[in-house]
A and B are shown apart, each in its own frame.
Chain A
Amino acid sequence: GNSVTQMEGPVTLSEEAFLTINCTYTATGYPSLFWYVQYPGEGLQLLLKATKADDKGSNKGFEATYRKETTSFHLEKGSVQVSDSAVYFCALSDGDYKLSFGAGTTVTVRA
């Protein structure tokens, strides 16, 4: 079956630091990959997505590249801000409506 593994947190960074959250997946087909972000007290919001190998998703300074050879979709941001403090979820969809989520990574950015 499909599964998503992402690095465990929590991750604590200083402002302007570089952020990487690792995500690897197992899927039977050719999935679409997503990063969702959850700010405190809110629901999940789609941050970025990629639908095929070598696609790069980007939004709000975050980027992730769909790497089929390593089955990975690592999230990166070059310079984080306090407002980036949130829980980040990697997810995949294997050609249908179902999303499989990773466990989530809590990121805290300190001023």
Chain B
Amino acid sequence: DAGITQSPRYKITETGRQVTLMCHQTWSHSYMFWYRQDLGHGLRLIYYSAAADITDKGEVPDGYVVSRSKTENFPLTLESATRSQTSVYFCASSLTGDQPQHFGDGTRLSIL
């Protein structure tokens, strides 16, 4: 039972570079989410997807792009990384919109 996996676990990059964080789930959950976790802010929703080819913005979408061509994958791309995007990123999924969300182990991203 693989569940939900994120890769890489750790990433260091430079400002201006493009970086993609991967998220894969094996449950065939309809909903998938990307959050960022910053000290003092808890988790904030970046983007979410209700199904393949359906995505929408969350609370803090600026500077991020997502896609969902397959139900099981939901990559998050930083098109031109900035230092303010240094954070821990969590992917989550849920069977339906009102079911509890299941989280991956996170990607710690540092932008120098």
Contact = CB atoms under 8 A, between A and B. Distances in A.
Question: Do the two chains bind?
Answer: yes
A38 to B, nearest CB: 8
Contacts of B92: 43-44
Interface string A1-43: 0001000000000000000000000000000101010000111
Contact of A97 (B31, B43, B102, B104): B31
Interface residues of A, number: 22
> Is the contact region of chain A dominated by helix, strand, or loop, or is it mixed?
strand
**Among all A-B residue pairs, the 3 with the closest Cβ atoms:** A43-B103, A97-B97, A101-B42
B40 A95 contact: no
Nearest to A89: B42
Given A49-B100, A97-B50, A97-B98, A43 B90 contact: yes
A103 B90 contact: no
B94 interface: yes
Interface string B87-109: 00010101001101111111000
A69 interface: no
A79 interface: no
Contacts, number: 50
B98 A103 contact: no
A32 B103 CA distance: 18
Contact of A96 (B90, B98, B102, B104): B98
Contact of A98 (B40, B42, B58, B105): B58
Interface residues of B, number: 24
A103 B44 CA distance: 10
A89 B43 contact: yes
9 contacts: A43-B4, A43-B103, A44-B90, A44-B92, A44-B103, A45-B103, A97-B50, A101-B44, A103-B42
Contacts of B4: 43
Nearest to B48: A97
Contacts of B97: 96-97
A75 B45 CA distance: 24
A46 B100 contact: yes
A76 to B, nearest CB: 20
B87 to A, nearest CB: 14
